[in-house]
Structure 1
Amino acid sequence: MAHCYQLSINEREEISLGLAQKFSKNYIALSLGRSSSTICREVNRNTANGQAYRAVKAHYRANKLTHLARKSRKMDINLPLKHYVLEHLDQLWSPEQIAKRLKILYPMDMAMQISHESIYSYLYVLPRGALRKELVKCLRYHHINRRIHGKSRQKSC
């Protein structure tokens, strides 16, 4: 019953048909082999103002949101921020120091603020090559791979 992938267009059509036939969300979930919370979230996310659930619209919206989630990184979009971060990494500042300094210098400008974890992830997502090697050498610990710090959440599936 535990699936770890997005709903397909066929599953969305089944949800739409089930709702049109006045089946409960629990019944639809059982028939699809999905969690009832998945179906509830899907229906709530894609119905508004008393309108009926539409599978094609829901699928289009899900695909659109998936592509938006893959948007560019903040440092790729904001060139002054990228320049500041790279310049200070070159001066052997740590990502923590850079993030804290940016918060002090730009307290009201969220576009010029970035977390130290975002700086690390930016560096470690770069393709292997001369630039990445050079930037990783600027870090205090020259680890080739990065372990994400902070609270770890385990997926249920």
Structure 2
Amino acid sequence: MYRPAGTSFSDRYLDRDERYEIARMLEAGSSQATIARALGRSPSTISRELRRNSLPRPARSAGSAGSAGSAGSAGSAGSAGSAGSGHPDGPGPSRTGQRYEPERADTLAWQRQRRPRASVWQTRPHLRARVQQMLDKRLSPEQIAGRLRLEFPLDDPGRQADNQLMHVSHETIYRALYVHPRGELTRALKGRLRSGRSQRKPRNRRESRGTIPGMVSIHERPEDVAGRLVPGHHEGDLIKGSTASNSAIGTIVERHSGYVSLLHLPDGWHAEHVAAAVTTQMSAYPTWFARTLTWDRGKEMSQHQKITQNTGIQVYFADPYSPQQRPSNENTNGLLREYFPKGSDLSIHDAAHLQAVADELNDRPRKRLGFLTPAEVFASLQAQASVATTA
């Protein structure tokens, strides 16, 4: 069955005229690279076209081969010339024993386009299940794709083929959720995606900020804190609940690993309560993982000197209305709003629930960590510190 007249592909596909030009140039002995330049296509497009749409060349009998050999060099030269320079078997890639017929190639391509193809989600149930599992944990498609490459590496010769089947691009995941008419991935999982929220609005200015006694500016912080190479430097802030509840949750993020800690503040977010919660949390870390803390200029941190006295951690304060000076914490606070919506009563969440949310974030692979999780990076740092201590 040939492609009916009047039907066409989009411009991204080769058309019938281009296929006739390919055949003509092959007949003339042109290379695939030359053909690609002439058509304004990539060499890979021409190579793929010949590989997919060429036909097997009929085998020649021994007698025919012998006759060709006895015909003499002049005859051989004449035959080669009629078939095209460099292509003694006629049109097409002779090295593969195939021939390229443009009309037939056009029909094959048309039939292939019309044939419904099973999606990756239908043919790889294990991949589908793993992706759904990760979406349920609120991982983004990019994080999922990167984590799969980490979990199923291709450098294991014995598992390379199987592991390749567990790889998928983030664009494919997005298409499965939003583009395809069939439900390749559970539609309910759309809600699990971290939506691309609009640009963060400026925070309402705090009322009566006042002056924090003994405040040390972020500009006095050691230079190595600005990078992320040295572990132990943290950023912190509060996320607020509804005005009626006057509730808040403390958030602390370690810059090197992205490790998150959430502070339960059942008695409110006055300075003494925040100082006590920060002291308890930071004291639980090894000293090499608790060096500094950079906080917003909120009055809830007015007892920072008690924190330093009890833990040895120096507290630094960002400039007013400068969330960009605490990027790790600001990003984490945005993620936490998926769990603790603005305007809600945050006092209903107990310490166990806060720990569960922190654990989920710490088990989320991060692109900047090579798709390792903050928990994995923290564990690796602990192991290194243990070796250094016993050495």
Q: Higher relative contact order by CA 8 Å / sep ≥ 6: 1 or 2?
A: 1
Mapping of residues 102-121 of structure 1, within 5 Å: 102-108=148-154, 109-121=163-175
- The equivalent of 1:37 in structure 2 is 39
Partner SS state of residue 114, structure 1: coil
- How far the C-alpha of 1:140 sits from its partner, in A, is 0.7
1:34-86 alpha-carbon deviations (Å, 9 max, x no partner): xx517xx59x8352229775343222332244357x63332221000001111
Structure 1 or 2: larger helix share? Answer: 1
Q: Residue 19 of structure 2 contacts residue 105 of structure 2 at CA under 8 Å; is this kept in 1?
A: no
- The equivalent of 1:49 in structure 2 is 94
**CA 1:53 to 1:105, structure 2 compared with 1: closer, same or farther past 3 Å?**
closer
Letter in 2 for 1:60: T
Coordinate RMSD, CA, aligned:
4.1
Letter in 2 for 1:106: F
Letter in 2 for 1:37: L
Length-normalised TM-score, structure 1: 0.55
Percent identity reads 29
Name the stretch that deviates more: 99-108 or 51-60.
51-60
CA distance in 2, matches of 1:127, 1:141: 21
Letter in 2 for 1:48: P
- The equivalent of 2:119 in structure 1 is 73
Which consecutive residues of structure 1, in runs of 5 or more, have no partner in the other structure? 24-35, 144-157
Q: Residue 12 of structure 1 contacts residue 59 of structure 1 at CA under 8 Å; is this kept in 2?
A: no
Paired residues, number: 122
CA distance in 2, matches of 1:104, 1:14: 45
Q: Is 1:7 aligned to residue 53 of structure 2? A: no
**CA 1:54 to 1:116, structure 2 compared with 1: closer, same or farther past 3 Å?**
closer
Length-normalised TM-score, structure 2: 0.25
**CA 1:57 to 1:101, structure 2 compared with 1: closer, same or farther past 3 Å?**
same
Q: Residue 19 of structure 2 contacts residue 106 of structure 2 at CA under 8 Å; is this kept in 1?
A: no
Which consecutive residues of structure 2, in runs of 5 or more, have no partner in the other structure? 1-9, 29-37, 41-45, 55-91, 155-162, 198-391
CA distance in 2, matches of 1:139, 1:63: 37
CA distance in 1, matches of 2:196, 2:148: 23
Structure 1 or 2: larger strand share? Answer: 2
